[in-house]
Homo-oligomer: A and B are copies of this chain.
């Protein structure tokens, strides 16, 4: 009784957008990608007024106004991005960009975070493949820290840290997984978890939603490629990915470099990781990249050799 399958459109809140064929009607079958408000939103409403309070100066709170949308990847209940046709992944990417743009101007939204949970152990409560867009009234530290670090890097070394990273990864080659004209996919140096892999635009760009038509086609190709390699190579593991992009209200000239980070859930963050914020990664990114480079070379049997990496 999956509420995201075609024919069950009434089980979700009314759609806010869909890619549809012919003259099909909203909240009925005939869609390719469908976007609905999350039935149990983490943030909302979008027209709420920010209320901040504190216990003296110690306990600071704000209400969780914002948006929380679900982007259903396709009517297909089984196939996630790696198994869908490239044309369908392109619809997903176009939808992501459109929803970014639609929510970006909301006064309550300081940041839009697009994420994808695949598999129950990665936190996907519904199996039917979908992404989620969270809009909320602050810039998360995960992104603020990157922006600050990149500013420090530029002041010290005179260039964008991510642009430089791509140069180094291309020269080193050992952590590179896939490239097309617009994007580089690689296992980052000193990655946090086994098979962590990033997709980074080759041309300096602060904002995901400013991709050109050509960029979107290239990004869809890179996204399908990576999720295919992960799913086929590692026997359909649980994984998460998320997109780090410029905050919605940042100045147009913001010096940032958007990218996607994918983290398979093959190991457990335990006391050491939680207590230190240091990761013990049992699979070197150089090994992971070598494995992923060859993971599409065999036939797609739906099964594969164990990577031997779960700790």
Given A140-B277, A277-B142, A57-B272 contact (CB < 8 Å)? no
The residues of B that contact A111 with a CB separation of less than 8 Å are: 276
The distance in angstroms between the C-alpha atoms of A116 and B268, with both chains bound, is 14
Q: Check if A263 sits within 8 Å of B268, measured CB to CB.
A: no
Q: Check if A164 sits within 8 Å of B270, measured CB to CB.
A: no
Most B CB within 10 A of own CB, among A59, A122, A164, A276: A276
The distance in angstroms between the C-alpha atoms of A57 and B159, with both chains bound, is 13
Q: Check if A272 sits within 8 Å of B42, measured CB to CB.
A: yes
Q: Check if B271 sits within 8 Å of A55, measured CB to CB.
A: no
Q: Closest chain B residue to A156 by CB distance? A: B57
The residues of B that contact A136 with a CB separation of less than 8 Å are: 278
The distance in angstroms between the C-alpha atoms of A42 and B270, with both chains bound, is 13
Most B CB within 10 A of own CB, among A141, A165, A270, A275: A275
Mark A55-72 against chain B: 1 for CB-CB distance below 8 A, else 0: 111110100000000000
Asked if A291 CB lies within 8 Å of chain B CBs, one says no
Q: Check if A244 sits within 8 Å of B275, measured CB to CB.
A: yes
Asked if A2 CB lies within 8 Å of chain B CBs, one says no
Asked if A121 CB lies within 8 Å of chain B CBs, one says yes
Asked if A83 CB lies within 8 Å of chain B CBs, one says no
The distance in angstroms between the C-alpha atoms of A268 and B270, with both chains bound, is 12
Asked if A261 CB lies within 8 Å of chain B CBs, one says yes
Given A140-B277, A140-B278, A271-B57 contact (CB < 8 Å)? no
Asked if A186 CB lies within 8 Å of chain B CBs, one says no
Which residues 130-178 of A have a CB within 8 angstroms of B? 132, 134, 136, 140-143, 157, 164-165, 168, 172
Given A157-B57, A189-B59, A271-B241 contact (CB < 8 Å)? yes
- Contact sample, A vs B, 22 pairs, CB 8 Å cutoff: A55-B189, A58-B189, A59-B189, A59-B190, A115-B271, A115-B272, A115-B274, A117-B271, A122-B268, A122-B270, A122-B271, A123-B268, A123-B270, A134-B272, A140-B275, A141-B277, A141-B278, A142-B277, A143-B276, A242-B272, A242-B275, A261-B275
List 7 tightest A-B contacts by C-beta distance, closest first.
A123-B270, A242-B275, A115-B271, A140-B276, A240-B271, A142-B277, A123-B268
- Chain A residues packing against B (C-beta within 8 Å): 42, 55-59, 61, 111, 113, 115-117, 121-125, 132, 134, 136, 140-143, 157, 164-165, 168, 172, 189-190, 240-244, 261, 263, 268-272, 274-278, 280, 311
